[in-house]
Chain A
Amino acid sequence: MNWLTGRFMLPPQGSAFADQVDTTFLGIYWLSVVLFWGITLTTLYFAWRYQYKAGRVTPHQTHNTTLEILWSVIPLLICVGLFFWGLNGYMKYAVAPGDAMEISVTGKQWLWEFTYPDGSKTINDMHVPVNKPVRLVMTSEDVLHDFFVPDMRVKMDVIPGRYTQVWFTPTVLGAHTFTCAEYCGKDHSGMKGIMTVEKQEDFDKFLATGGTEWETYRDSGDWAGWGKLQYERKGCNSCHSVDGTSSKGPTWKGLFGKTETLGTGTTLVVDDAYLQESMLQPNAKVVKGFEPIMPTFQGLLRNHEIKGLVAYIQSLK
């Protein structure tokens, strides 16, 4: 059926706004289908019907005022209608309801950072409660980015030096991808993440502990697995490899217990304390050969998340 209705063109709907956008989209789609086949079939029919025949004299039709007014005015009326249809949807996108929950979003090359009303933060991993309006107040630390959630049908540029906003009401539980839609350099296409739409009680639990998965890991005692999840979620993987290859930061493979030389020339053995310090004050002791470019994760990592990351690094022999 999707192929018949034109729905195949669109991603799943995740918000009430999505349905409104889709109705307009499909309206224009069908108008276009009719006009396209009208123009195409007329062209091909004329080309076949009036094919060259020796001796045929063509009529000298220079113009027809009635016809020309008609095919200017009718499209104009259609366009006026479409404009208002689009405007109607846009007004909903433009004005957020006053009771919307506010989440601040910071874009930087190449990750997304989210700050929730209680001050807790996540990276590339966004959680929102279902059926509650959410308003994102966004800014960038470096170049232009654009926060795009296809399932919600919303998109807005994220600009350094000013705040922009976008809002939506998620209605469908589960994972929805968000991406960066304004070109921002090398890892532009890697600047994406998952928005988890969850029930209010799960969202509350997420804010308190950093996620519902935590309980599973806590109960099974799998600290390294918990750490691996943080490695992916908090964006560690954009600079640290776990397979020995060197990137912007040292690889985590075989890191624990290793003797590292610092930029200052002193040496130290990598242990729990050093790892924790490196997450919270990353530029205090930078390993030789690396730039002091890592941002601090103070406030971004809860204690049990740090513990998990240390266990994960320890497990990478």
Chain B
Amino acid sequence: MEPVLTSGQHVGDHPRPEKNYLNENTRVWDWMTTVDHKRIGLMYLVGSLFFFLIGGMLALMLRLVLMTPQHTMFGIAVDAEMYNRMFTLHGAIMVFLFIIPAIPGSLTNFVLPLMLGAKDVAFPKLNLASFYVYVAGAIMAVSSIVIGAVDTGWTFYTPYSSSSSQTAVASMTMAAFILGFSSILTGLNFIATVHKLRAPGMGWFDMPLFIWGMYSTAVIQILATPVLAITLVLLAIEKTFHIGIFDPKYGGDPVLFQHFFWFYSHPAVYIMILPGMAIISELIPTFSKKTIFGYRAIAYSSVSLALVSFIVWGHHMFVAGQSQLANVVFSALTFLVAIPSGVKVFNWLTTMYKGNIVLKTPMWFAIAFLILFAIGGLTGIFLGTLSTNIHLTDTYFVVAHFHYVMMGSTVTAFLGGLYYWWPKMTGRMFSEKGGKISCALWFIGFNATFIPQFIMGSQGMPRRYYNYLDQFQPFHAFSTVGSWILGLSLFTVAGVLLASLRKPADAPDDPWGGTTLEWKTSSPPITHNFHDQPVLEREPYDYRPAGMAGKGH
């Protein structure tokens, strides 16, 4: 179980350099004005993890309130209005401030130029600008919490949001509007970088699959996010000037809002899951010490998921009052999603077949991902099928399903990726034992929290419910206990990673035996990424003995 390169070994002729991107120019001002993608990635990491903490705390509080019918949290009674604000903030923070920016903003910002053999992203200043737009959106979101919070659910459905809710809907939608621009700018930057800054010798099919996944994500970001922006502006216009767009009181149509909203928010689901899949496509070949099976199939499946994601939004609206014919068409299109998703899973499994599998922490997370994503994906079939959707939609079944995809899959992959690139980002190895304990707790806690929610949902427990029928109480209690294990696992992750920072830099340049270019520079990298311009001589994931390696899948 030894890594290919052991501690102290370094790439090429370069011993660990004195100066790297972390210890050069360390004043606060240098960080605030940096255009280094690695530093911006770290700042995004801190920002999005901060909001993951806040959103997670809200989740633990929600679970505590739901644990017993008394609705208390450490003896403090929580009323329905407070509960509604809490679940809205949990959803809005997790979606707009954590999952959407987390992998693109932090890990991808850090590794994408490295993987391409580039010095930075195509537009470094724009990259910094997108971070500050994110910060502005975050401040706006936090201030709307302070001035009265929001109780509409993260979906802002009209006419509740436009005329009934007495909360800070306007400023929260403005925050989502601003955050959308951050997402658009990041996507734009990545697309330009992939097109223009690949290392000499790197054709499109020589790129790591992570890049294919993130490229597909970026395409969705720039095409879908403007629709959300327009929708939120229309909502603001209606709210301010009482011009009828979505509210029937003024002659508008509330179902139109849902069409607009999901036209963005369904592709946004793929903004969340594709980066997770992108990370898994790196972890599995690296730790299986075997070339990825079906490189082109995985690359094309990322692109086709991105395309299909634009034509399935109506499956959120089977009982929302859209035409019955539209329901039938959207159901048929929705099943198309299953094919590329299945292709990816089968390719990952086949990559493990006859591999030489090193069971390090990131691989544990990759295995956890495969199992949790299987549940997330398969329960999607129940929801894509028309007759069962009628019964299951708007219940806890949906809540459990999307948590399996958003959290069980994307966040599992994010944690795996964080552990995977941590030595590259910080120059430090973390405790393997601690990492594995955190993964085991995560897996157990996650299933304990969300499996009861599947059962509750299919038995008829609607979502966004403060009061529930007594028969569901045992399930809620079980789920709440699961959430504590989940919370514990995340604190373990934080502890393991932060503990590694207390020791001197000890990570080798390529601790996992990776083949992609980010491992061909120092850990942590120097400010300009590479000592010499890297030239691609072999395809990614080529684990053939040195003499036999080459290019061309």
In the complex with contacts A36-B374, A144-B160, A186-B338 CB distance below 8 A: no
A16-36 to B contact mask, C-beta < 8 Å, 1/0: 000011001100110110011
Interface residue count for B (Cβ, 8 Å)?
95
B349-361 to A contact mask, C-beta < 8 Å, 1/0: 1101111111100
B363 surroundings in chain A (CB, below 8 A): 47
Q: Is the CB of A185 within 8 A of B460?
A: no
B381 surroundings in chain A (CB, below 8 A): 28, 31-32, 79, 82
Q: Is A161 an interface residue (CB 8 A)?
A: yes
Q: Is the CB of B378 within 8 A of A32?
A: yes
Q: Is B386 an interface residue (CB 8 A)?
A: yes
A65-89 to B contact mask, C-beta < 8 Å, 1/0: 0011001100110011011011111
In the complex with contacts A52-B357, A185-B84, A86-B387 CB distance below 8 A: yes
Q: Is the CB of B339 within 8 A of A79?
A: yes
Q: Is the CB of B357 within 8 A of A50?
A: yes
Q: Is the CB of B394 within 8 A of A155?
A: yes
Q: Taking each of B163, B352, B371, B390, which has the highest tally of chain A beta carbons within 10 Å of its own beta carbon?
A: B390
Q: Is A39 an interface residue (CB 8 A)?
A: yes
Inter-chain contact count A-B, CB under 8 Å?
Answer: 269
Residues of B within 8 A of A (CB): 1-2, 80-81, 84, 151-153, 157, 159-160, 163-165, 248-249, 253-255, 288-291, 293-297, 319-321, 324, 327-328, 331-332, 335-336, 338-339, 342-343, 345-347, 349-350, 352-359, 363, 367, 370-371, 374-375, 378-379, 381-382, 384-391, 393-395, 454-455, 458-460, 462-469, 542-545, 548, 553
A56 to B288, CA, bound (A): 11
A184 to B390, CA, bound (A): 19
Nearest Cβ in chain A — how far from B241, in angstroms? 19
Q: Is the CB of A155 within 8 A of B467?
A: no
In the complex with contacts A9-B459, A83-B331, A63-B371 CB distance below 8 A: no
Nearest Cβ in chain B — how far from A289, in angstroms? 20
B294 surroundings in chain A (CB, below 8 A): 62-64, 68
Residues of A within 8 A of B (CB): 8-11, 20-21, 24-25, 28-29, 31-32, 35-36, 39-40, 42-44, 46-47, 50-54, 56-64, 67-68, 71-72, 75-76, 79-80, 82-83, 85-90, 92-94, 109, 142-144, 146, 148, 150-151, 153-157, 159-162, 164, 177, 179-190
B462 surroundings in chain A (CB, below 8 A): 148, 179-181, 189
Q: Is the CB of A60 within 8 A of B291?
A: yes
A25 surroundings in chain B (CB, below 8 A): 382, 388, 391, 458
Q: Is the CB of B379 within 8 A of A32?
A: yes
Q: Is the CB of B385 within 8 A of A83?
A: yes
A46 to B294, CA, bound (A): 18
In the complex with contacts A36-B378, A150-B460, A186-B81, A90-B328 CB distance below 8 A: yes
Q: Ordered nearest first, which 4 A-B pairs have the shortest CB separation?
A: A89-B387, A150-B460, A161-B248, A86-B385
Q: Is the CB of A186 within 8 A of B84?
A: yes
Q: Is the CB of B459 within 8 A of A10?
A: yes
In the complex with contacts A183-B157, A188-B464, A47-B378 CB distance below 8 A: no
In the complex with contacts A63-B297, A186-B84, A87-B331 CB distance below 8 A: yes
A190 surroundings in chain B (CB, below 8 A): 80, 467
Q: Is the CB of B466 within 8 A of A188?
A: yes
Q: Is the CB of B357 within 8 A of A24?
A: no
A21 surroundings in chain B (CB, below 8 A): 387-388, 390-391
